[in-house]
Chains A and B, each alone.
Chain A
Amino acid sequence: MLLFNNKKEKMKNEKYISVNENDDGIDRAGFLKCMAWAGTGLFCIMSGGVMKSFGMSQLIDKNIGALKKGLLLPKADFTFAQISDSHIGFNKPANPDVLGTLQAAIGKINAMPTAPSFILHTGDLSHLAQADEFDTLDQAMKSAKTGKIFYVPGEHDVLNDNGKQYLQRYGKDTKGDGWYSFDYKGVHFIGLVNVVNTAEGGLGVLGNEQLEWLEKDVKGLSSSTPIIVFAHIPLWEVYPQWGWGTRDSAQALSYLKRFGSVSVLNGHIHQTLQKVEGNITFHTATSTAFPQPQPGTAPAAGPMKVPAEQLRSLLGVTSVNYVEHNHTLAITDTPLIAAKETKMENQ
Protein backbone atom coordinates (compact mmCIF):
# COMPACT_ATOMS: atom_id res chain seq x y z
CA MET A 1 0.00 0.00 0.00
CA LEU A 2 1.06 3.55 -0.65
CA LEU A 3 1.47 4.44 2.98
CA PHE A 4 3.74 1.50 3.60
CA ASN A 5 5.97 2.42 0.65
CA ASN A 6 6.34 5.96 1.91
CA LYS A 7 7.04 4.96 5.49
CA LYS A 8 9.28 1.95 5.00
CA GLU A 9 12.12 3.28 7.10
CA LYS A 10 9.81 4.23 9.91
CA MET A 11 8.13 0.86 9.93
CA LYS A 12 11.40 -1.03 10.22
CA ASN A 13 11.72 0.07 13.83
CA GLU A 14 8.08 -0.15 14.79
CA LYS A 15 5.97 -3.18 15.52
CA TYR A 16 2.76 -1.36 14.73
CA ILE A 17 1.96 1.85 12.87
CA SER A 18 0.72 4.27 15.48
CA VAL A 19 0.21 7.39 13.40
CA ASN A 20 -1.64 7.84 10.14
CA GLU A 21 -0.07 10.84 8.44
CA ASN A 22 -2.80 11.33 5.91
CA ASP A 23 -2.39 13.85 3.12
CA ASP A 24 -5.45 15.43 1.56
CA GLY A 25 -3.64 16.02 -1.72
CA ILE A 26 -4.49 19.70 -1.96
CA ASP A 27 -1.88 22.27 -1.07
CA ARG A 28 -2.33 25.84 0.08
CA ALA A 29 -1.32 27.30 -3.26
CA GLY A 30 -4.00 25.23 -4.95
CA PHE A 31 -6.59 26.49 -2.50
CA LEU A 32 -5.69 30.11 -3.06
CA LYS A 33 -5.67 29.76 -6.82
CA CYS A 34 -9.11 28.22 -6.75
CA MET A 35 -10.47 30.77 -4.31
CA ALA A 36 -9.35 33.68 -6.43
CA TRP A 37 -10.95 32.10 -9.45
CA ALA A 38 -14.22 30.94 -7.97
CA GLY A 39 -14.84 33.70 -5.48
CA THR A 40 -15.19 36.52 -7.95
CA GLY A 41 -18.56 35.54 -9.46
CA LEU A 42 -20.06 37.04 -12.57
CA PHE A 43 -22.54 39.71 -13.53
CA CYS A 44 -24.15 38.92 -16.88
CA ILE A 45 -26.42 40.74 -19.26
CA MET A 46 -27.99 38.88 -22.14
CA SER A 47 -29.33 40.81 -25.08
CA GLY A 48 -30.33 39.46 -28.45
CA GLY A 49 -29.09 36.01 -27.50
CA VAL A 50 -25.64 37.21 -26.44
CA MET A 51 -24.67 37.34 -22.79
CA LYS A 52 -22.11 39.87 -21.60
CA SER A 53 -20.45 39.12 -18.31
CA PHE A 54 -18.61 41.19 -15.75
CA GLY A 55 -16.53 39.88 -12.86
CA MET A 56 -17.97 40.54 -9.44
CA SER A 57 -14.71 42.23 -8.56
CA GLN A 58 -15.79 44.96 -10.96
CA LEU A 59 -19.04 45.38 -9.03
CA ILE A 60 -18.34 44.56 -5.40
CA ASP A 61 -16.25 46.79 -3.18
CA LYS A 62 -14.24 44.21 -1.27
CA ASN A 63 -13.70 46.61 1.63
CA ILE A 64 -17.39 46.94 2.44
CA GLY A 65 -18.63 43.67 0.88
CA ALA A 66 -21.40 45.43 -1.04
CA LEU A 67 -22.09 46.90 -4.46
CA LYS A 68 -19.72 49.72 -5.33
CA LYS A 69 -21.19 53.16 -4.89
CA GLY A 70 -23.03 54.43 -7.93
CA LEU A 71 -23.93 50.98 -9.28
CA LEU A 72 -27.59 50.10 -9.66
CA LEU A 73 -29.31 46.84 -10.50
CA PRO A 74 -30.84 46.91 -13.99
CA LYS A 75 -34.53 47.75 -14.18
CA ALA A 76 -36.56 44.57 -14.40
CA ASP A 77 -40.13 43.40 -14.87
CA PHE A 78 -39.45 40.56 -12.51
CA THR A 79 -36.58 38.94 -10.73
CA PHE A 80 -35.83 35.47 -9.51
CA ALA A 81 -32.98 33.92 -7.57
CA GLN A 82 -31.07 30.68 -7.94
CA ILE A 83 -29.49 28.80 -5.07
CA SER A 84 -27.85 25.43 -5.30
CA ASP A 85 -26.09 22.56 -3.56
CA SER A 86 -27.18 23.18 0.02
CA HIS A 87 -26.08 19.67 1.10
CA ILE A 88 -28.03 19.77 4.35
CA GLY A 89 -26.51 17.03 6.54
CA PHE A 90 -22.91 17.61 5.43
CA ASN A 91 -20.77 18.17 8.51
CA LYS A 92 -17.13 17.89 7.46
CA PRO A 93 -14.41 20.54 7.99
CA ALA A 94 -15.07 22.11 4.57
CA ASN A 95 -18.16 23.59 6.23
CA PRO A 96 -19.51 22.20 9.51
CA ASP A 97 -22.45 24.66 9.41
CA VAL A 98 -24.21 24.18 6.07
CA LEU A 99 -27.51 25.27 7.60
CA GLY A 100 -25.93 28.53 8.68
CA THR A 101 -24.59 29.26 5.22
CA LEU A 102 -27.94 28.34 3.62
CA GLN A 103 -29.63 30.76 6.01
CA ALA A 104 -27.06 33.39 5.02
CA ALA A 105 -27.93 32.80 1.36
CA ILE A 106 -31.60 33.22 2.18
CA GLY A 107 -30.68 36.37 4.09
CA LYS A 108 -29.08 37.66 0.92
CA ILE A 109 -32.24 36.96 -1.04
CA ASN A 110 -34.34 38.65 1.62
CA ALA A 111 -32.05 41.68 1.44
CA MET A 112 -32.72 42.24 -2.27
CA PRO A 113 -34.29 45.63 -3.03
CA THR A 114 -37.28 43.76 -4.50
CA ALA A 115 -38.32 40.29 -3.37
CA PRO A 116 -37.70 37.77 -6.15
CA SER A 117 -40.85 36.38 -7.74
CA PHE A 118 -39.54 32.89 -7.05
CA ILE A 119 -36.43 30.89 -6.26
CA LEU A 120 -34.93 28.06 -8.28
CA HIS A 121 -33.02 25.49 -6.23
CA THR A 122 -30.85 23.50 -8.62
CA GLY A 123 -30.37 20.38 -6.52
CA ASP A 124 -28.43 18.63 -3.80
CA LEU A 125 -30.85 19.95 -1.26
CA SER A 126 -29.65 17.20 1.08
CA HIS A 127 -26.33 15.43 1.51
CA LEU A 128 -27.59 11.89 2.17
CA ALA A 129 -31.24 12.05 1.07
CA GLN A 130 -32.46 11.62 4.63
CA ALA A 131 -35.93 12.69 5.74
CA ASP A 132 -34.56 14.89 8.52
CA GLU A 133 -32.25 16.64 6.05
CA PHE A 134 -35.14 17.46 3.71
CA ASP A 135 -37.18 18.63 6.72
CA THR A 136 -34.38 20.99 7.78
CA LEU A 137 -34.08 22.42 4.29
CA ASP A 138 -37.84 22.94 4.02
CA GLN A 139 -37.89 24.72 7.35
CA ALA A 140 -35.04 27.03 6.32
CA MET A 141 -36.54 27.80 2.93
CA LYS A 142 -39.78 28.90 4.60
CA SER A 143 -37.95 32.03 5.76
CA ALA A 144 -37.22 33.12 2.18
CA LYS A 145 -39.30 36.09 1.11
CA THR A 146 -40.50 34.94 -2.26
CA GLY A 147 -43.60 33.72 -4.04
CA LYS A 148 -42.60 30.15 -4.68
CA ILE A 149 -39.63 27.79 -4.72
CA PHE A 150 -38.99 25.43 -7.61
CA TYR A 151 -36.69 22.43 -7.24
CA VAL A 152 -34.82 19.92 -9.33
CA PRO A 153 -32.93 17.07 -7.67
CA GLY A 154 -29.18 16.60 -7.38
CA GLU A 155 -27.58 13.17 -7.24
CA HIS A 156 -27.37 13.41 -3.44
CA ASP A 157 -31.17 13.74 -3.28
CA VAL A 158 -31.79 10.43 -5.02
CA LEU A 159 -29.30 8.19 -3.21
CA ASN A 160 -30.39 4.60 -2.60
CA ASP A 161 -34.00 4.92 -3.77
CA ASN A 162 -33.66 6.34 -7.30
CA GLY A 163 -35.41 9.50 -6.10
CA LYS A 164 -38.65 8.09 -4.67
CA GLN A 165 -38.53 10.20 -1.51
CA TYR A 166 -37.57 13.34 -3.47
CA LEU A 167 -40.55 12.82 -5.77
CA GLN A 168 -42.93 12.36 -2.85
CA ARG A 169 -41.79 15.65 -1.35
CA TYR A 170 -41.08 17.89 -4.32
CA GLY A 171 -42.44 16.11 -7.37
CA LYS A 172 -46.10 17.13 -7.25
CA ASP A 173 -47.36 18.00 -10.75
CA THR A 174 -44.12 16.88 -12.37
CA LYS A 175 -43.47 14.24 -15.00
CA GLY A 176 -41.26 11.14 -14.88
CA ASP A 177 -38.43 11.53 -12.38
CA GLY A 178 -39.49 15.10 -11.57
CA TRP A 179 -39.15 17.21 -14.71
CA TYR A 180 -41.62 19.99 -15.54
CA SER A 181 -42.05 23.39 -17.13
CA PHE A 182 -43.94 26.57 -16.34
CA ASP A 183 -44.44 30.02 -17.81
CA TYR A 184 -43.92 33.29 -16.03
CA LYS A 185 -44.49 36.68 -17.63
CA GLY A 186 -43.63 35.47 -21.10
CA VAL A 187 -40.61 33.40 -20.13
CA HIS A 188 -40.74 29.60 -20.41
CA PHE A 189 -38.94 27.81 -17.57
CA ILE A 190 -37.94 24.16 -17.89
CA GLY A 191 -36.74 22.07 -14.94
CA LEU A 192 -34.85 18.97 -16.05
CA VAL A 193 -33.63 15.93 -14.10
CA ASN A 194 -30.25 14.50 -15.08
CA VAL A 195 -29.26 12.67 -11.89
CA VAL A 196 -31.50 9.60 -11.66
CA ASN A 197 -30.12 7.84 -14.69
CA THR A 198 -26.35 7.64 -14.79
CA ALA A 199 -23.63 7.28 -17.36
CA GLU A 200 -20.07 6.05 -17.21
CA GLY A 201 -17.77 8.45 -15.41
CA GLY A 202 -20.60 10.00 -13.41
CA LEU A 203 -21.97 12.07 -16.27
CA GLY A 204 -25.58 13.12 -16.04
CA VAL A 205 -28.21 11.57 -18.27
CA LEU A 206 -31.59 12.97 -19.30
CA GLY A 207 -32.88 9.80 -20.95
CA ASN A 208 -35.17 9.22 -23.90
CA GLU A 209 -38.47 9.69 -22.06
CA GLN A 210 -37.47 13.13 -20.81
CA LEU A 211 -35.99 14.14 -24.16
CA GLU A 212 -39.23 13.23 -25.92
CA TRP A 213 -41.18 15.23 -23.38
CA LEU A 214 -38.87 18.23 -23.86
CA GLU A 215 -39.26 18.15 -27.62
CA LYS A 216 -43.06 18.22 -27.25
CA ASP A 217 -42.93 20.83 -24.47
CA VAL A 218 -41.22 23.47 -26.61
CA LYS A 219 -42.82 22.52 -29.93
CA GLY A 220 -45.71 24.97 -29.72
CA LEU A 221 -43.66 27.91 -28.47
CA SER A 222 -42.80 30.93 -30.59
CA SER A 223 -39.09 31.23 -31.40
CA SER A 224 -39.08 34.62 -29.70
CA THR A 225 -40.04 33.08 -26.34
CA PRO A 226 -37.17 33.43 -23.88
CA ILE A 227 -36.26 30.02 -22.46
CA ILE A 228 -34.63 29.32 -19.12
CA VAL A 229 -33.58 25.73 -18.45
CA PHE A 230 -32.43 24.62 -15.02
CA ALA A 231 -30.97 21.26 -13.99
CA HIS A 232 -28.42 20.03 -11.48
CA ILE A 233 -25.50 18.68 -13.51
CA PRO A 234 -24.23 21.10 -16.17
CA LEU A 235 -25.76 20.61 -19.60
CA TRP A 236 -22.41 21.37 -21.22
CA GLU A 237 -19.10 19.60 -20.90
CA VAL A 238 -17.45 21.50 -18.09
CA TYR A 239 -15.03 18.69 -17.19
CA PRO A 240 -16.21 15.22 -18.20
CA GLN A 241 -13.26 13.57 -16.41
CA TRP A 242 -15.00 14.46 -13.15
CA GLY A 243 -18.49 13.73 -14.46
CA TRP A 244 -19.18 17.43 -14.92
CA GLY A 245 -21.40 17.21 -17.96
CA THR A 246 -24.50 15.46 -19.30
CA ARG A 247 -24.12 12.67 -21.84
CA ASP A 248 -27.21 13.42 -23.93
CA SER A 249 -27.43 17.18 -23.40
CA ALA A 250 -26.64 17.87 -27.08
CA GLN A 251 -29.96 16.37 -28.10
CA ALA A 252 -31.84 18.45 -25.54
CA LEU A 253 -30.13 21.62 -26.68
CA SER A 254 -30.89 20.84 -30.32
CA TYR A 255 -34.58 21.36 -29.51
CA LEU A 256 -33.73 24.86 -28.24
CA LYS A 257 -31.62 26.06 -31.15
CA ARG A 258 -34.46 27.92 -32.88
CA PHE A 259 -35.10 30.13 -29.87
CA GLY A 260 -33.53 33.56 -29.77
CA SER A 261 -32.71 33.57 -26.09
CA VAL A 262 -31.87 30.48 -24.05
CA SER A 263 -30.24 30.48 -20.62
CA VAL A 264 -29.18 27.30 -18.86
CA LEU A 265 -28.69 27.39 -15.08
CA ASN A 266 -26.92 24.53 -13.32
CA GLY A 267 -25.26 23.67 -9.99
CA HIS A 268 -23.26 20.56 -9.04
CA ILE A 269 -19.76 21.96 -9.52
CA HIS A 270 -20.03 24.51 -6.68
CA GLN A 271 -18.44 27.35 -8.59
CA THR A 272 -19.31 30.02 -11.09
CA LEU A 273 -18.61 29.27 -14.71
CA GLN A 274 -20.17 30.74 -17.79
CA LYS A 275 -20.11 29.91 -21.46
CA VAL A 276 -21.93 31.34 -24.49
CA GLU A 277 -22.60 29.04 -27.41
CA GLY A 278 -24.69 30.55 -30.17
CA ASN A 279 -28.05 31.49 -28.71
CA ILE A 280 -27.44 29.60 -25.47
CA THR A 281 -25.76 30.96 -22.37
CA PHE A 282 -24.68 28.38 -19.80
CA HIS A 283 -24.23 29.38 -16.21
CA THR A 284 -23.24 27.34 -13.16
CA ALA A 285 -23.87 28.57 -9.63
CA THR A 286 -21.86 28.45 -6.45
CA SER A 287 -22.98 26.21 -3.60
CA THR A 288 -24.48 27.43 -0.35
CA ALA A 289 -22.51 24.66 1.42
CA PHE A 290 -18.89 24.20 0.38
CA PRO A 291 -16.58 24.99 -2.54
CA GLN A 292 -15.03 22.47 -4.91
CA PRO A 293 -11.71 22.77 -6.72
CA GLN A 294 -11.30 24.26 -10.15
CA PRO A 295 -11.51 21.56 -12.87
CA GLY A 296 -8.23 19.65 -13.10
CA THR A 297 -6.49 21.46 -10.26
CA ALA A 298 -6.96 18.68 -7.69
CA PRO A 299 -6.82 14.89 -7.86
CA ALA A 300 -10.61 14.75 -7.84
CA ALA A 301 -13.76 16.75 -7.26
CA GLY A 302 -15.06 16.96 -3.71
CA PRO A 303 -15.48 19.23 -0.70
CA MET A 304 -12.61 21.71 -0.50
CA LYS A 305 -11.49 23.03 2.88
CA VAL A 306 -10.53 26.69 2.89
CA PRO A 307 -9.72 29.04 5.78
CA ALA A 308 -12.89 29.73 7.76
CA GLU A 309 -12.79 33.46 7.15
CA GLN A 310 -12.77 32.90 3.39
CA LEU A 311 -15.49 30.25 3.15
CA ARG A 312 -18.44 32.58 2.68
CA SER A 313 -16.77 34.45 -0.15
CA LEU A 314 -16.87 31.17 -2.10
CA LEU A 315 -20.53 30.47 -1.44
CA GLY A 316 -23.41 32.39 -2.77
CA VAL A 317 -26.64 33.05 -4.51
CA THR A 318 -27.45 33.95 -8.10
CA SER A 319 -30.08 36.56 -8.79
CA VAL A 320 -31.63 37.20 -12.16
CA ASN A 321 -33.29 40.35 -13.41
CA TYR A 322 -35.51 39.96 -16.44
CA VAL A 323 -36.65 42.85 -18.61
CA GLU A 324 -39.57 41.79 -20.76
CA HIS A 325 -39.54 44.23 -23.63
CA ASN A 326 -36.01 43.80 -24.92
CA HIS A 327 -35.57 40.29 -23.57
CA THR A 328 -32.52 41.15 -21.56
CA LEU A 329 -31.47 38.83 -18.80
CA ALA A 330 -28.95 39.87 -16.19
CA ILE A 331 -27.40 37.30 -13.90
CA THR A 332 -25.46 38.30 -10.82
CA ASP A 333 -23.52 35.94 -8.59
CA THR A 334 -23.18 37.38 -5.14
CA PRO A 335 -20.88 35.96 -2.49
CA LEU A 336 -22.56 35.41 0.87
CA ILE A 337 -20.28 37.83 2.66
CA ALA A 338 -22.08 40.73 1.01
CA ALA A 339 -25.50 39.89 2.43
CA LYS A 340 -25.46 41.94 5.60
CA GLU A 341 -23.92 45.02 4.03
CA THR A 342 -26.32 45.00 1.07
CA LYS A 343 -29.25 44.89 3.45
CA MET A 344 -27.91 47.93 5.29
CA GLU A 345 -27.40 49.79 2.05
CA ASN A 346 -31.01 49.22 1.11
CA GLN A 347 -32.50 50.43 4.38
Chain B
Amino acid sequence: MQVSRKYGVLIGMAIVVIAGIAAVPAPSNEYKNLKVLPKDISTKDLSRIMIDEFEDGLGVSCGFCHAEEKDSHKLDYASDENPEKEIARLMMKMTLDVNEKYFQVPHPLIGDSVLSIKCMTCHKGQPRPGETE
Protein backbone atom coordinates (compact mmCIF):
# COMPACT_ATOMS: atom_id res chain seq x y z
CA MET B 1 0.00 0.00 0.00
CA GLN B 2 2.83 2.34 1.01
CA VAL B 3 4.71 1.47 -2.19
CA SER B 4 1.77 2.28 -4.45
CA ARG B 5 1.20 5.58 -2.58
CA LYS B 6 4.88 6.42 -3.15
CA TYR B 7 4.54 5.70 -6.87
CA GLY B 8 1.39 7.75 -6.94
CA VAL B 9 3.20 10.75 -5.48
CA LEU B 10 6.08 10.34 -7.94
CA ILE B 11 3.74 10.05 -10.90
CA GLY B 12 1.83 13.11 -9.69
CA MET B 13 5.07 15.09 -9.40
CA ALA B 14 6.13 13.96 -12.87
CA ILE B 15 2.80 15.12 -14.30
CA VAL B 16 3.20 18.52 -12.63
CA VAL B 17 6.74 18.90 -14.01
CA ILE B 18 5.77 17.79 -17.54
CA ALA B 19 2.73 20.05 -17.51
CA GLY B 20 4.91 22.92 -16.32
CA ILE B 21 7.42 22.38 -19.10
CA ALA B 22 4.64 22.16 -21.69
CA ALA B 23 3.12 25.38 -20.39
CA VAL B 24 6.35 27.34 -20.93
CA PRO B 25 6.03 28.95 -24.36
CA ALA B 26 8.75 28.24 -26.88
CA PRO B 27 11.32 31.04 -27.18
CA SER B 28 9.91 33.56 -29.57
CA ASN B 29 10.60 36.97 -30.96
CA GLU B 30 8.58 39.53 -32.84
CA TYR B 31 10.23 38.92 -36.19
CA LYS B 32 7.68 38.04 -38.81
CA ASN B 33 9.55 37.53 -42.03
CA LEU B 34 12.89 35.81 -41.45
CA LYS B 35 13.71 33.52 -44.38
CA VAL B 36 17.45 32.84 -44.13
CA LEU B 37 18.28 33.73 -40.54
CA PRO B 38 16.90 31.33 -37.90
CA LYS B 39 13.29 32.10 -37.03
CA ASP B 40 14.02 31.76 -33.31
CA ILE B 41 17.07 34.03 -33.38
CA SER B 42 17.48 36.23 -30.31
CA THR B 43 17.26 40.02 -30.65
CA LYS B 44 20.88 40.23 -29.52
CA ASP B 45 22.15 37.83 -32.20
CA LEU B 46 20.04 39.49 -34.88
CA SER B 47 21.24 42.96 -33.89
CA ARG B 48 24.84 41.79 -33.85
CA ILE B 49 24.50 40.41 -37.39
CA MET B 50 22.92 43.64 -38.60
CA ILE B 51 25.75 45.71 -37.11
CA ASP B 52 28.77 43.47 -37.73
CA GLU B 53 27.85 41.96 -41.09
CA PHE B 54 25.86 44.71 -42.75
CA GLU B 55 26.60 48.08 -41.12
CA ASP B 56 30.33 47.45 -40.70
CA GLY B 57 30.77 44.91 -43.52
CA LEU B 58 28.94 46.88 -46.21
CA GLY B 59 29.10 50.38 -44.74
CA VAL B 60 25.32 50.76 -44.93
CA SER B 61 22.60 51.65 -42.47
CA CYS B 62 19.28 49.87 -41.87
CA GLY B 63 17.46 51.80 -44.60
CA PHE B 64 19.69 50.30 -47.29
CA CYS B 65 17.70 47.04 -47.19
CA HIS B 66 14.64 47.81 -45.05
CA ALA B 67 11.71 49.70 -46.54
CA GLU B 68 10.02 52.61 -44.82
CA GLU B 69 6.56 52.36 -43.30
CA LYS B 70 3.81 53.87 -45.36
CA ASP B 71 3.28 57.56 -44.45
CA SER B 72 6.43 57.70 -42.33
CA HIS B 73 10.20 57.53 -42.53
CA LYS B 74 10.28 54.85 -39.84
CA LEU B 75 11.42 51.42 -40.98
CA ASP B 76 9.09 48.51 -41.55
CA TYR B 77 11.52 45.71 -40.77
CA ALA B 78 9.19 42.92 -41.95
CA SER B 79 8.48 44.46 -45.33
CA ASP B 80 10.01 43.05 -48.53
CA GLU B 81 9.27 46.22 -50.52
CA ASN B 82 12.93 47.17 -50.83
CA PRO B 83 14.53 44.85 -53.44
CA GLU B 84 17.91 45.13 -51.69
CA LYS B 85 16.51 42.92 -48.93
CA GLU B 86 16.08 39.95 -51.29
CA ILE B 87 19.59 40.51 -52.62
CA ALA B 88 20.85 40.42 -49.03
CA ARG B 89 19.09 37.09 -48.52
CA LEU B 90 20.71 35.66 -51.66
CA MET B 91 24.11 36.88 -50.54
CA MET B 92 23.66 35.30 -47.11
CA LYS B 93 22.75 31.98 -48.76
CA MET B 94 25.78 32.23 -51.02
CA THR B 95 28.03 32.97 -48.04
CA LEU B 96 26.73 29.93 -46.17
CA ASP B 97 27.16 27.73 -49.25
CA VAL B 98 30.74 28.89 -49.83
CA ASN B 99 31.67 28.27 -46.22
CA GLU B 100 30.18 24.80 -46.23
CA LYS B 101 31.34 23.70 -49.68
CA TYR B 102 34.83 25.19 -49.94
CA PHE B 103 35.86 25.70 -46.32
CA GLN B 104 34.17 22.65 -44.84
CA VAL B 105 32.42 24.62 -42.11
CA PRO B 106 29.73 22.29 -40.79
CA HIS B 107 26.27 23.86 -40.34
CA PRO B 108 27.43 27.42 -41.01
CA LEU B 109 25.38 30.29 -39.58
CA ILE B 110 25.58 33.96 -40.52
CA GLY B 111 27.33 35.83 -37.74
CA ASP B 112 29.16 32.76 -36.46
CA SER B 113 32.80 33.53 -35.66
CA VAL B 114 33.98 30.23 -37.20
CA LEU B 115 33.00 31.29 -40.71
CA SER B 116 35.96 31.60 -43.08
CA ILE B 117 34.11 33.88 -45.47
CA LYS B 118 32.00 36.75 -44.19
CA CYS B 119 30.39 39.78 -45.81
CA MET B 120 33.49 41.85 -45.00
CA THR B 121 35.74 39.40 -46.91
CA CYS B 122 34.59 40.80 -50.24
CA HIS B 123 32.65 43.95 -49.42
CA LYS B 124 35.34 45.58 -47.26
CA GLY B 125 32.94 48.24 -46.05
CA GLN B 126 31.43 48.94 -49.47
CA PRO B 127 27.82 48.28 -50.52
CA ARG B 128 29.07 46.64 -53.71
CA PRO B 129 32.49 44.95 -53.85
CA GLY B 130 35.02 46.69 -56.02
CA GLU B 131 33.32 50.06 -55.82
CA THR B 132 35.46 52.98 -54.82
CA GLU B 133 34.28 56.39 -53.77
A residues at B contact (CB < 8 Å): 1-3, 16-17, 20, 22-23, 25, 127-130, 155-156, 159-160, 162, 196-202, 205, 207, 241-243, 296, 298-303
In chain B, what residue has the closest Cβ to A208?
A: B73
Say whether A128 contacts B121, CB under 8 Å.
Answer: no
Residue with the greatest number of chain B CB neighbours at <10 A, chosen from A25, A159, A207: A159
Given that A2-B129, A3-B122, A16-B102 are known contacts, is A160 also in contact with B117, CB under 8 Å in the complex? no
A26, chain B: closest CB distance, angstroms: 9
Size class of B's contact patch? 35 or more
Q: Which of B6-14, B32-40, B59-67 contacts A (4 or more CB under 8 A)?
A: B59-67
Say whether A156 contacts B51, CB under 8 Å.
Answer: yes
B residues at A contact (CB < 8 Å): 43-44, 46-48, 50-51, 55-56, 58-64, 68, 72-75, 77, 98, 102-104, 116-117, 120-122, 124-126, 129-130, 133
Whole-angstrom distance between the alpha carbons of A207 and B68 in the complex?
13
A selection of 11 A-B contacts at a CB cut-off of 8 Å is A3-B122, A17-B102, A129-B43, A130-B47, A197-B72, A198-B62, A199-B63, A202-B60, A242-B59, A300-B56, A302-B125
Residues of A within 8 A of B124 (CB): 23, 25, 299-300
The residue that A202 contacts in the complex, of B51, B56, B63, B126, with Cβ under 8 A, is B63
Whole-angstrom distance between the alpha carbons of A130 and B29 in the complex?
14
Whole-angstrom distance between the alpha carbons of A129 and B74 in the complex?
17
Say whether B126 contacts A2, CB under 8 Å.
Answer: no
Say whether B104 contacts A22, CB under 8 Å.
Answer: no
Whole-angstrom distance between the alpha carbons of A235 and B92 in the complex?
34
A339, chain B: closest CB distance, angstroms: 29
Residues of A within 8 A of B47 (CB): 128-130, 159-160
Residues of B within 8 A of A155 (CB): 61-62
Whole-angstrom distance between the alpha carbons of A196 and B74 in the complex?
6
Say whether B121 contacts A199, CB under 8 Å.
Answer: no
Given that A16-B104, A129-B47 are known contacts, is A299 also in contact with B126, CB under 8 Å in the complex? yes
Say whether A22 contacts B75, CB under 8 Å.
Answer: no
Whole-angstrom distance between the alpha carbons of A129 and B62 in the complex?
14
Residue with the greatest number of chain A CB neighbours at <10 A, chosen from B74, B75, B104, B129: B74
B7, chain A: closest CB distance, angstroms: 45
Say whether A198 contacts B51, CB under 8 Å.
Answer: no
In chain B, what residue has the closest Cβ to A301?
A: B59
Given that A3-B121, A20-B121, A302-B59 are known contacts, is A199 also in contact with B44, CB under 8 Å in the complex? no
Whole-angstrom distance between the alpha carbons of A300 and B43 in the complex?
26
The residue that A299 contacts in the complex, of B43, B44, B102, B125, with Cβ under 8 A, is B125
Say whether A243 contacts B61, CB under 8 Å.
Answer: yes
Residues of A within 8 A of B44 (CB): 128, 130
Say whether A2 contacts B72, CB under 8 Å.
Answer: no
In chain B, what residue has the closest Cβ to A296?
A: B133
B92, chain A: closest CB distance, angstroms: 14
In chain B, what residue has the closest Cβ to A177?
A: B74
Residue with the greatest number of chain B CB neighbours at <10 A, chosen from A130, A301, A302: A302
In chain B, what residue has the closest Cβ to A159?
A: B47
B79, chain A: closest CB distance, angstroms: 13
B20, chain A: closest CB distance, angstroms: 25
Residues of A within 8 A of B46 (CB): 160
